[in-house]
Structure 1
Amino acid sequence: MDTLLTDRIEQLLAPGGPLPIVTAGDPVLRAGTAPYEGQLGPALLARFVAALRETMRAAPGVGLAAPQVGVGLRIAVIEDPATVPDEIRAARARVPQPFRVLVNPSYTGSGHASFYEGCLSVPGYQAVVTRHAEVRLRAEDETGRPVDEVFSGWPARIVQHETDHLDGLLYLDRAEPRSLTSNESHTKHWAQPTPEEAAKGLGFELP
């Protein structure tokens, strides 16, 4: 085990409750991550994963990566109850996803889809991001069991978003700059299931 890392995570977990979420501008979000190779040990890993889950749900969000709480390890969690209107669910292929732990994830993708997307580390804003419509995810779960699974639609977007965090990327790096909008403006003007109206109104092109 990595003593310095375990001590730091013990300190992070000590107060209890949701962990503080790191926001854009903090270098940990840009540094990339080290592969998880047992640095925490099973018991501490389980506690860290539980804290990530609690933090994600409290935010609330549909995914959270370790760098977003200041830890540079290749670990993320995802979960999506998909409590959205039917027309949004249909347009975005957004279906419920159970809680999952992704350790050392990577993916290959195909197709593309463009939608507004936000991030807990960039609070208050959204932008249109074009991502793969389908991905094949390879990872491990928290027990070390291999994961090899295909995701499509919105679940594929979540996998890509969280894996980007582990590579030192934010969604803004992939976004259409002219689409950037505050949450308030998005609700007022661009809350349609797809971003075609936003493209016309804000002057950008979709693939």
Structure 2
Amino acid sequence: MSTPSPYRTTAPESDWTAARIAEAAAELVATEGIPPIVQAGHPALRTRAVPFDGQLDAELLDALVLLMRRTMHAAPGVGLAAPQIGLPLSLAVLEDTWAADEESARARDRVPLSFTAMLNPAYAPLGDGRAGFYEGCLSVRGYTAVVRRAAAVRAQWTAPDGSARSAEFSGWQARIVQHETDHLGGTLYLDRAEPRSLCANEEYTARWAQPTPERAARALGFSA
């Protein structure tokens, strides 16, 4: 995959070898239950993930994808990158089939996203449109903040079966793609957030859980 994501990162490259990645993946899938989701401060979240280049055989890769899907569902979340379970490999899983109220879904252009596993994903914006909404992260528990992201993107990735894939995503689907791909570059959503929008989940639920962040922007003093 030669097409870069449109953001530069200062994150260091992971120094994990192919053997170490394979060993760690095998340990993860062999463990009963689901692995813990690592939190901000863990080095796997702040390094550039190793591009997938056959480090895992087909059976182990499929098992890892299934484990990540179960972990994502249990969290619950709509996306999970391998670094979030401590494995610095360029792999992410996405799926958004959670019910959303009609007003929020319309405001956020949120429609279901079927399960997708992406190896070595990259994205580029389509047009200049941007949208700002509150988003959170399974690796930053307890907080949420407004992030302005491209309203539509074209993504390229490799599927677990080795086939090259590309697709256009818009609205909330585009946000999920950007968020999870950013993880693979060592970037957290906080790096792109409006700092004054940051709030604890309890405050968000009590005060700012509207379909759009305009009310919070006026009260907290940030640009929506």
TM-score, normalization: structure 1?
0.97
Alpha-carbon distance between aligned partners in 1 of 2:109 and 2:47, rounded to the nearest angstrom:
32
Instruction: Give the equivalent residue in structure 1 for 2:164.
Output: 146
Instruction: Give the equivalent residue in structure 2 for 1:188.
Output: 206
**For residues 53-92 of structure 1, what are the structure 2 equivalents within 5 Å?**
53-92=69-108
CA contact 2:135–2:146 (8 Å) conserved in 1 = yes
Deviation, 1:82, is 3.6
**For residues 51-200 of structure 1, what are the structure 2 equivalents within 5 Å?**
51-109=67-125, 110=127, 111-200=129-218
**For residues 23-38 of structure 1, what are the structure 2 equivalents within 5 Å?**
23-38=39-54
Deviation, 1:4, is 2.7
Deviation, 1:17, is 1.8
Alpha-carbon distance between aligned partners in 2 of 1:2 and 1:42, rounded to the nearest angstrom:
15
Residue deviations 1:5-54 (CA, integer Å, cap 9, x gap):
22222222222222110100111100111110110110100010010000
Deviation, 1:166, is 0.2
Deviation, 1:108, is 0.6
Instruction: Give the equivalent residue in structure 2 for 1:49.
Output: 65
Alpha-carbon distance between aligned partners in 2 of 1:62 and 1:8, rounded to the nearest angstrom:
24
Alpha-carbon distance between aligned partners in 2 of 1:118 and 1:184, rounded to the nearest angstrom:
13
CA contact 2:62–2:160 (8 Å) conserved in 1 = yes
SS of 1:193's partner is coil
Alpha-carbon distance between aligned partners in 1 of 2:147 and 2:36, rounded to the nearest angstrom:
26
TM-score, normalization: structure 2?
0.90
Deviation, 1:144, is 1.1
SS of 1:50's partner is helix
Alpha-carbon distance between aligned partners in 2 of 1:145 and 1:172, rounded to the nearest angstrom:
33
Structure 2, unaligned runs of 5 or more: 1-16
Structure 1, unaligned runs of 5 or more: none
CA contact 1:17–1:54 (8 Å) conserved in 2 = no
SS of 2:48's partner is coil
Percent identity for Structure 1 against Structure 2: 53
Alpha-carbon distance between aligned partners in 2 of 1:21 and 1:98, rounded to the nearest angstrom:
22
Aligned alpha-carbon RMSD (Å): 1.1
SS of 2:120's partner is strand
Which stretches of structure 1, 4 residues or longer, exceed 4 Å deviation after superposition? Answer: none
Deviation, 1:145, is 1.1
Alpha-carbon distance between aligned partners in 2 of 1:120 and 1:8, rounded to the nearest angstrom:
21
Instruction: Give the equivalent residue in structure 2 for 1:202.
Output: 220
SS of 1:113's partner is strand
Deviation, 1:139, is 0.6
